[in-house]
Structure 1
Amino acid sequence: MSSPVVIVQPRLALEDPHDCTDANDMLAVFDALFDGLVRYGKDGGYVAALASSWDVTPDARHWTFSLREGLSFHDATPCDAAAVCQSLTRMARPDKGYTLGAPGVWHQYLGDAEIEAVDPLTVVIRLSKPIADLLDILVYGYVVAPSALDRYEAGDTSQPVGTGPYHLVSYEPGHALHVQRFDGWHGEPPANDELTFRLEPNREARLEMLISDQAQVANSLDFEASKALEETARHTRVTSFVPVAIIYLFNAFKGPLTDSRVRRALNLAIDRQALIDRVVKGAAKPLTGFVSPIHFGSLPSEDLRSDQDQAKTLLAEAGFADGLTIKVDCPTRLPDEAEALTAALAEQLAPIGVTLNVHRHTDREAYAHGVRLKQVRDMCVFDSSPLSTFRILAEKIDHRAQGSWWLGFHNAEAEDLLDAGRATVDQSERAEIFEKAFRALQVDPPWLYLYNPLRVTGLSGSWPNWRMRHDCVLDVTRLPDFQSGKRAS
C-alpha cells in the first residue's frame, strides 16, 4: 500500500462539527469527514452533497431537500432524512454553534424553524422568517451519525462518524490525524487513498517539510520565503485570496465614531496598499467595502480611495478641525499583525490630525468576549469572516438583531435592503439588492475597511493549474494524485 499523503498545517484538532468556525484548517478536516446537504462548488456557489436537489417557495420560508438514495455513514448505518434532521436540530440549539466569543450562531437562523423528515429521503425546513440565502448556513450543517452523538454530548469529539469522502483511522491530539478514503462516499472518489493531517505551528518548519519531501501539501506558508518553491519544477506555490476581512470595528454607541462623517473620514484617510506593503509584506489585497470582491452582491469600488483633503474636511464638519484622539483596543494575535498594523495606521492618520491611544490585550478569547459584550473603547482590531453577504448584514450590521459583533451602528437603508434580500429568491435580483447595500455602506461605513489576506499553499510536484477552492479551504477531494502524478478532476 502507498504511503499516506501528508498535509501539514498550523492548526489541527477534532472539534464538534456543530459549533461554528472560520478556521480554514478546521474546515478542511470537517469537509474530509462530513457532508452537509450541500457543499461549496469549486469556483463558487453550491453543489449537491447529501441532497441531490432542493426547492424553495417564492417567499423563501419553506425549503425542501431530496436526499440521495443509499447514503450511509462510515459505521455502515444508514444516513436518512431522520439522521439529517437530528444533526440540523442539534446544530440549531442555543448552546451549539459556538465560535470565539459568540454562542448560538446557527440558533439565530434555525432555532425556531420546523425541521422535519417527511419521509426517509425528504427533509423539510420551515422558517419563521424568510432566508433566501439559507444555503450559506446549511453548507456548515455537517451531518453526524446518530450513533456518535452521545459521545459528542459527553464532550468526546475524538471519534467522528460522518458520511464524508474520508473516514477516521487514528487521531493523535496535538500531533496528527490519519484518514482513509471512504468507498461508500456519494461523490467521485478522491485521488488519494490515505491522508495524514499533521500539526506544525511553525511556518518555516512547514516549508522545510515540503521541500524535504516530508509533506506533499503545506498550508499557510510565509509569503516571501515560499517564493523559493517557484525556482524549480519540484514544487507548486499557489497564492489564494482569503475572504476574511481585516477591519477595525467602530463603536457607534458613544464617542466620536457615532458620527458617520468621522467614520468615512478615517476610511478616506488611509492608503491601504501602503499598509499592506509595510505590515504584511504585500500578502493581502485592499478592501474597500464591507464585503470582499468574491462575496455575493459586492461591487468593484474606488469610492474609498485615499483622499486626505476630503478626510480633513469631513473631520472639520464633525467638529474636529483641531484634532481628534481615538482610543483603540488592540489584541496581540488574531490577526497576528494587529500591533504592527495599529502602529502603521497611527502614522497614516497623523497628517489629518488623528492620534491613536492604544490599549493592548494579550488574552485573545477574553478580548473577543469583551467585544461581544460591547466593552470597546472607540474602535478595535477585528475581522469579518463569513463568506456570506447575508450573514454579515444580519449578524453584524442589523441593529435590530444586536449581534455579537454589532457595536451600535444603524443604517435604515441597509436594513431595508437586508429585509428585501432575505425574501428575494431570484439570484440576480438579490445580487442587485445587496449591491445597493454595498453602496450604502460605502457612504456610511460601519468599520474601517483594510484588506483581505493572501494565503500561500505549497504542493509537491508541478501542478500549474491547481487552485484552492474559492472559500480558501483545502478541498482534499480535489488534490492531485501524488503517487501517479495525475490531478483530481
Structure 2
Amino acid sequence: MTSDLSGVATIALPRLPLGDPHDCTDANDELSLYLAFYDTLVKRRNGHYVPHLARSWRVGEDARSWTFELRPGIRFHDGATCDAAAVAASLRRMAREDKGYTLGSPAVWRQYLGDAEIDADGLTLRIHLGAPVADLLDVLVQGFIVAPSIFERLDSGERALACGTGPYIAETFATGLVGARRNPDWFAGQPANAGLRFVLEPDTGTRLAMLLDGRAQLANTLDPTADGPSCIDGVTLHRFAAPVAIIYLLNAAKGPLADARVRLALSLAVDREALIGAVLPGAADPLQGFVSPRHFGAGTRPADGPDLARAKTLLAEAGHGNGLTLGLDCPTRLPDEAERLTAALGAQLARIGIRFDVHLHPDREAYAHMVRRKEIRDLCVFDSSPMSTFRVLHEKIDSRIAGAWWQGYRNQVVEELIDIGRGATDDAARACRYRAAYEELQRDPPWLTLYNPHRVIGLAGDHPDFTLPDDGVIDVADLPLLARQAAI
C-alpha cells in the first residue's frame, strides 16, 4: 500500500492466519480474509443459500446428482477465466487427502467429495456424489475457488499470496499486515471501501484503542463482558451470539459416562444461566439443544433442568449413589475461559456428588490431536463450530463414521434420522428429521452442552442497522463505508 490511505479501511484482527483456502477452518478471522479474495459457488443468507459464482443449481431426487450453472465472464485476479473446469479443479484439490485439514482433524472435505465424480463442460459443473448429501451446499459454502495458477505455490507451503475472483485483490503481504484494493471487475458489485488493510493486533484493549483513535475502522473480537452503550465516541459496537457451541465431550466408550444415565445426570445438574453468570457474565446464551438457534433444523426446546433430585436418582440407579470422581481434560485456551468454566462447573456438579480430577493441557494443537485419537479421560472441554447441522451429526455423532470428535456414542434412532435427513432434498422434510434427531440427543446426550458465547466487533461511525451473516464471519464486501481518511 502507498502512504495515501484515502478510502482504505483498516481492520484490526487478533489473528492474521492467511493459510491455504482449501483447508477447513471455522476461525472467523481467517474466513474474513478468504472472503476478501475468493468466491464460492453459493453464499448463506438469512438461513438460506443464494447464488454466487453459480447463478443456479439443481439436485436430483437421489440427493447425489448436483448440477451448477456458472455465471459467464468471470475472471480470476490473474486474468484467467473462471469456468467450470477451474471450479472443478478447486473442488478436486479440496478433496485431496492432504487438504481440508483443520485443528486436529485431517481431510474434512474428502469425506464428502473424495469419491465424487466431478465433470466440467463450459459453464456447467456436475457433481455426482458417492452417497446422498442433501446438505452439500453446507460444504460448498466454504469451497473457495482458487486460481489454478497458484496451486503449485500453495502446495509448496507459500502463504503470502492470494488469487481468486473475490471483491478485493491482494497487494501487500508483510509481517502483521495484508493489504488489498477493490476489484473493479467483481461480478457482485462494488464494495463500499476502496481498499482494506488487515492488521494484526493480539491485545483486545489495543484493538479497541485503535478503533477509538482512528488507527482502525473495524476491530474484531472485542471484550464481550464489558458493559457499555452500543455506540461510544463515534464507534458502533455490534454484539451477537456466535453459533459456536461450548460443550464438554463425554467419553461414551468406557468409564462411568458410557452409561447414558450418568451422562443425563450431568446435564440435569447444570444451571446454565448461573454458569454463564459465573464465567462470562452477560456474554453468552444458554444452548437450546446441541446447535445454535441459527443452525438449520435447530430445535427450540431448552435442555431439561436443573433438576438435582432426578440427577441424584439417575446416579444412584447407575451405581454411583455415593458420588464419583471423573477425569477431566482441560485446555488453557480455545475456549479461553476453559479453566474458569471447569471450576464453575465443578462447583455445580459437587451438589450431586461428582468431583473432577482436572488435567490441564497448554498445547492446544496437541490437545486436539489427543481428542481426535480418542484418548480423553471421562470428559473434556471443547467447542462445536461448524455452521452445518448435518456436519455436526455426521462428523461428531454418527458411530458408523466415528469421526475425529466422536467419543464412543451410539444411538440407532439418531442414525436412522441422519440417513433419512441426508437423502431428503425437501428442506422442510430434512429440517424436521434433524429436529427429531436433536430431541433424541436431549434425551440421551452425547455431550454436556452449555452455551453460545457472545462476540463483539466495533465499527467506525454510526451503523445501527449493521448485521453479520449467520456464521458470524465478517464478509468485507458487505461492510458499510468505514474509511474517509484512514490514519497511518
TM-score by length of 1: 0.96
- What are the residue-to-residue correspondences of 1:112-191 with 2, within 5 Å? 112-117=115-120, 119-173=121-175, 175-191=176-192
- The separation in 1 between residues aligned to 2:103 and 2:302, in whole angstroms, is 33
> What is aligned with 1:88?
91
- The separation in 2 between residues aligned to 1:228 and 1:244, in whole angstroms, is 25
CA apart distance, 1:153? 1.4
> What is aligned with 2:406?
406
Q: Matched residue of 2:19: which SS?
A: coil
> What is aligned with 2:16?
12
CA apart distance, 1:229? 5.7
- AA aligned to 2:272 is R
CA apart distance, 1:13? 2.3
- The separation in 2 between residues aligned to 1:241 and 1:353, in whole angstroms, is 33
- What are the residue-to-residue correspondences of 1:409-428 with 2, within 5 Å? 409-428=409-428
> What is aligned with 1:77?
80
> What is aligned with 2:309?
309
- The separation in 2 between residues aligned to 1:52 and 1:437, in whole angstroms, is 33
- AA aligned to 2:103 is L
- The separation in 2 between residues aligned to 1:271 and 1:263, in whole angstroms, is 15
1:66 pairs with 46, 69, 72, which one?
A: 69
- AA aligned to 2:421 is G
Bigger shift: residues 307-316 or 388-397: 307-316
Note if 1:341 corresponds to 2:341: yes
Q: Matched residue of 1:218: which SS?
A: strand
CA apart distance, 1:3? 4.1
- The separation in 2 between residues aligned to 1:482 and 1:373, in whole angstroms, is 45
1:32 pairs with 27, 32, 36, which one?
A: 36
5+ unaligned residues in a row in structure 2: which ranges?
none
CA apart distance, 1:226? 6.6
> What is aligned with 2:240?
240
Contact 2:288–2:299 (CA under 8 A) maintained in structure 1:
no
Identity of aligned residues (%): 54
> What is aligned with 2:253?
253
Contact 1:67–1:80 (CA under 8 A) maintained in structure 2:
yes
**1:317-370 CA distances to partner (integer Å, 9 max, x unpaired)?**
111111111110001111111111001100000010101110111111111000
- What are the residue-to-residue correspondences of 1:373-392 with 2, within 5 Å? 373-392=373-392
Note if 1:52 corresponds to 2:55: yes
Bigger shift: residues 79-88 or 296-305: 296-305
Task: Note closer, same or farther for the CA distance 1:342–1:224 as it changes in structure 2 (3 Å cut).
Answer: closer
**1:172-196 CA distances to partner (integer Å, 9 max, x unpaired)?**
13x1111111112110211111011
Contact 2:8–2:483 (CA under 8 A) maintained in structure 1:
no
Contact 1:297–1:389 (CA under 8 A) maintained in structure 2:
yes
- The separation in 1 between residues aligned to 2:77 and 2:126, in whole angstroms, is 25
> What is aligned with 2:205?
204
Contact 1:253–1:409 (CA under 8 A) maintained in structure 2:
yes
Contact 1:229–1:458 (CA under 8 A) maintained in structure 2:
no
**1:282-337 CA distances to partner (integer Å, 9 max, x unpaired)?**
21111131211111111111342311111111111111111111110001111111
Task: Note closer, same or farther for the CA distance 1:226–1:195 as it changes in structure 2 (3 Å cut).
Answer: farther
CA apart distance, 1:40? 2.1
Aligned pair count reads 481
CA apart distance, 1:157? 2.1
Contact 1:207–1:226 (CA under 8 A) maintained in structure 2:
no
**1:68-88 CA distances to partner (integer Å, 9 max, x unpaired)?**
000100111110111000010
1:109 pairs with 97, 102, 112, which one?
A: 112
- The separation in 2 between residues aligned to 1:231 and 1:14, in whole angstroms, is 31
> What is aligned with 1:290?
290
Superposed CA RMSD in Å reads 1.3
- AA aligned to 1:14 is L
- The separation in 2 between residues aligned to 1:229 and 1:209, in whole angstroms, is 17
**1:99-123 CA distances to partner (integer Å, 9 max, x unpaired)?**
0011000001110000110x11011
> What is aligned with 1:442?
442
CA apart distance, 1:14? 1.4
Note if 1:324 corresponds to 2:324: yes
CA apart distance, 1:483? 4.4
CA apart distance, 1:477? 1.2
- The separation in 2 between residues aligned to 1:78 and 1:53, in whole angstroms, is 19
Task: Note closer, same or farther for the CA distance 1:333–1:484 as it changes in structure 2 (3 Å cut).
Answer: closer
- The separation in 1 between residues aligned to 2:254 and 2:32, in whole angstroms, is 40
> What is aligned with 2:352?
352
Q: Matched residue of 2:151: which SS?
A: helix
Q: Matched residue of 1:227: which SS?
A: coil
Q: Matched residue of 1:390: which SS?
A: helix
CA apart distance, 1:44? 2.6
Contact 1:251–1:379 (CA under 8 A) maintained in structure 2:
yes
- The separation in 1 between residues aligned to 2:215 and 2:361, in whole angstroms, is 37
> What is aligned with 1:22?
26
Task: Note closer, same or farther for the CA distance 1:302–1:146 as it changes in structure 2 (3 Å cut).
Answer: closer
Q: Matched residue of 1:330: which SS?
A: strand
Q: Matched residue of 2:231: which SS?
A: helix
Q: Matched residue of 2:178: which SS?
A: strand
> What is aligned with 2:462?
462
TM-score by length of 2: 0.97
